[in-house]
Structure 1
Amino acid sequence: MLLALLLALSHVESAEVVIVAGSADHMEHVMQRAGVKFALITPDQLPSTPLRWQQILMVNCTGQMSPEARERVRRFVNAGGMLYTTDHAVHYLLEAIFPGKVRFNQKSSAEQIFPMQVKGDRGLVAKINDHGEPRWQLAGGGMLFDVLDPSVEILMRSREVAARYQTSGVLGVRFRHGDGQVVHVTGHFFTQPGQTREVAAAGRAFEQLSENVVREKQVDMPRVERLYSAEALKPAPMLAEPKDAAAPVTAPSGGTVSTATAKKVRVLRSEGGYVEIRDDQGNQGWVPAQSLQQ
């Protein structure tokens, strides 16, 4: 069991995309078709997974996971990582770690294809309109959601979904948290041989958005890179407060956190000979100022 875990996690550091396996979605198939290098892990492996802000984390529906795994995801996004989630994850993951952004509105969808209207960021929705009127497939038992925060950017919505379910009709959103960002859509699937033209068109829209997420992360990399400008000169344990006797910062998987594995860190503020930093895995705490080169 331990050997299998180590082998699985050894592929994570070199992967552009890390995908959390789910029971109702398979984004790994989309990435495989797009030729994107990815690592596939289970929700139970998340707390110990060395996610770094340079990566994209894709969480397949349902998004159910332990509190420790949710904390690992929160730190990853806070550090500058990009999170991409589908359907039930709005309730089981996003509501828990990003309260006040989006919320399951207690209305479940039937499996049906609807026309949709694309708006918002041109990078994330690029090419979705290239094959005529775009369509989107809602999943049977899918969780429709509402936007709670006006800073959340609506990428896709459907007037027809709004009329059918008496909701806002929002299908996809993007919002920022800390130094990172989150993209969420309702529905999940991919194109397969033998599908009808309408179903295949809806599948292409989902696949195109998924590929756009990868490109958007590449565009965003320089912005986050500039934030991580300090270098750890020597290993130093991260502390919860700026004083010698402070409690150590703990990792989601347990154990203490230090700057030993961080190549670059982000300086947040200084106080009394200490500096509050964030490492590339999203761990945050105080270290002596002399342990850094700024």
Structure 2
Amino acid sequence: MGDFKKMEQAYKASSKLLEKRMAKERPIDLDILRKVKESSIIIVAGAYDKIELVLELIKVPYILIQPHEVSHIDLRSDQILIINCPGNVYEDSLLKIKEFVKKGGFLFTTDWALLNILEKIFPRYLKYNQRHTADDCVRVEVLDKSNKFLEGLFNEDADPIWWLESSSYPIQILDKTRVKVLIVSKEMQEKYGESPIVITFDYGDGTILHMTSHYYLQRAELRTKRHKMSAKEYAIKEVGLSADEAEMEELKGLSLGEAESAYSTTQFISNVIVEQQKKVKKRKEEKEEK
């Protein structure tokens, strides 16, 4: 089975692992995820990334638009705007996106959108370092383990590997007081000059989240004995399922490394959606109290 087919299977398995784990550990958050309305999430289609495929697997509704349509739609401050790589929107959309964030919207971008979106809107915050990556995998480390976006991604003893798409754009942080780095890679820094993998910062009342490479991973790298263990062992030992709960057809033939790569990205996007929904609810309640 090729890498892409394996990862496709891994994502199907991860969606089931996610639901079982959240039902046990975070039932309230799972309920929030289940109640997301289609209009809450706007995804801008990309030629190279397909975040919408992950949302389909975890049964979260969304509206998919083409890059040129950003200029014509109304964006609300309670929405999440996800822009897939490469992020080639019209120039007149950039100010609109900036105002959307300023008023409280959540912007999530991947890879080349660093240059095509973020660097243009927030030139003093971050930029592409002009040293694109190879098709590669690097070991990563979570810097801020208390951040809610990262809840449940990796266990303490995990040694996660992050896939870099060929020609991914490393993130150079310009404003280190405003931009917060969530996940780093020393290996990334050694090879390509910058260590940040996932970053976030606030602007106005809104939030920006950006990650290097593509969200929908197409392969995983199995470096260690742990990575080569079975996905079922991962489900039991690290996700916390019982042996019976881990008896899933989707896990058969998968390695721990493949399951972990898919699960971490599935959990990540779920966390982002849940946290934004909570923020919107809190903002609404505060407004009603005034």
Length-normalised TM-score, structure 2: 0.69
| Partner Cα distance (1:30, 1:190) in 2 | 7
SS at match of 1:188: coil
Match for residue 217 of structure 1? 276
Match for residue 187 of structure 1? 213
Deviation digits for residues 65-94 of structure 1 (CA, Å, limit 9, x no counterpart): 111221221111111010000000000000
User: Does the 8 Å CA contact 2:162/2:261 hold for their aligned counterparts?
Assistant: yes
Match for residue 19 of structure 1? 43
1:110 maps onto 2:134 in alignment: yes
Kindly state the Cα deviation for residue 133 of structure 1 after the two structures are TM-superposed. Answer: 2.1
User: Does the 8 Å CA contact 1:191/1:199 hold for their aligned counterparts?
Assistant: no
Q: Number of aligned residue pairs: give it.
A: 218
- The answer to which structure has the higher strand fraction is 1
1:1-294 aligned at under 5 Å gives the runs 14-120=38-144, 121-130=146-155, 132-150=158-176, 151-165=178-192, 167-190=193-216, 198-225=257-284
Letter in 1 for 2:82: M
Length-normalised TM-score, structure 1: 0.68
Structure 1, unpaired ranges of 5+: 1-12, 231-293
Deviation digits for residues 91-128 of structure 1 (CA, Å, limit 9, x no counterpart): 00001111211110001011222211112252011111
| Partner Cα distance (2:283, 2:100) in 1 | 13
Structure 2, unpaired ranges of 5+: 1-36, 219-249
Change (3 A) 1:191 1:163: closer
Kindly state the Cα deviation for residue 227 of structure 1 after the two structures are TM-superposed. Answer: 6.9
Letter in 2 for 1:83: L
Ranges of 4+ aligned residues in structure 1 off by more than 6 Å: 192-196
SS at match of 1:184: strand
Letter in 1 for 2:203: H
SS at match of 2:283: helix
Change (3 A) 1:228 1:14: farther
Deviation digits for residues 117-166 of structure 1 (CA, Å, limit 9, x no counterpart): 1122520111111483222111101111111112211110011111222x
150-159 or 67-76: bigger deviation: 67-76
SS at match of 1:182: strand
Letter in 1 for 2:276: K
| Partner Cα distance (2:91, 2:43) in 1 | 18
SS at match of 2:159: coil
Cα root mean square deviation, aligned? 2.4
| Partner Cα distance (1:126, 1:119) in 2 | 12
| Partner Cα distance (2:166, 2:285) in 1 | 43
Kindly state the Cα deviation for residue 61 of structure 1 after the two structures are TM-superposed. Answer: 0.1
Kindly state the Cα deviation for residue 228 of structure 1 after the two structures are TM-superposed. Answer: 5.3
- The answer to which structure has the higher helix fraction is 2
